[in-house]
Structure 1
Amino acid sequence: MGGQRGRGGIRPEQLPGCPVRDADGEVFGTVCALHESARQYSAEEQAALEAFRQKVEALLAGSPR
């Protein structure tokens, strides 16, 4: 039971995330969520994470280098 544990004992299924890209399309980082146990994330939760990613990318696009 349970998947492989990553750094800090966190399993990948506990950590949904999506890459954040800068204005040039390069990966800048990741927006993610963490739950104390592995579970399925709802479509609404995944959409909220995606919306947050879009906001972060918009902020990055408007920031000077």
Structure 2
Amino acid sequence: MLTELTSPVSTTELARRSEMSPAGVSQHLTALRAAGLVVTQRRGRTLLSARTDLAEALLSATG
């Protein structure tokens, strides 16, 4: 899921990309947010999720 967050994206778009249900994506994002790896911001009526600096560091260390 983290690798799909290359730019701020909606849950619906992540579900489409990952072929998961929006509810499943939402559960993943909730866990990632609790771990400090994702932040979510409201833009109008849409919630957009993006990686944090911590997530970027983890991905670059494994990559």
Flag whether TM exceeds 0.5 (same fold).
Answer: no
Larger Rg: 1
Higher helix share: 2
- Relative contact order, CA 8 A, sep 6+: which one is greater? 2
Superposition TM-score, scaled by structure 2 size: 0.31
TM-score (norm 1): 0.30
More strand by proportion, 1 or 2? 2
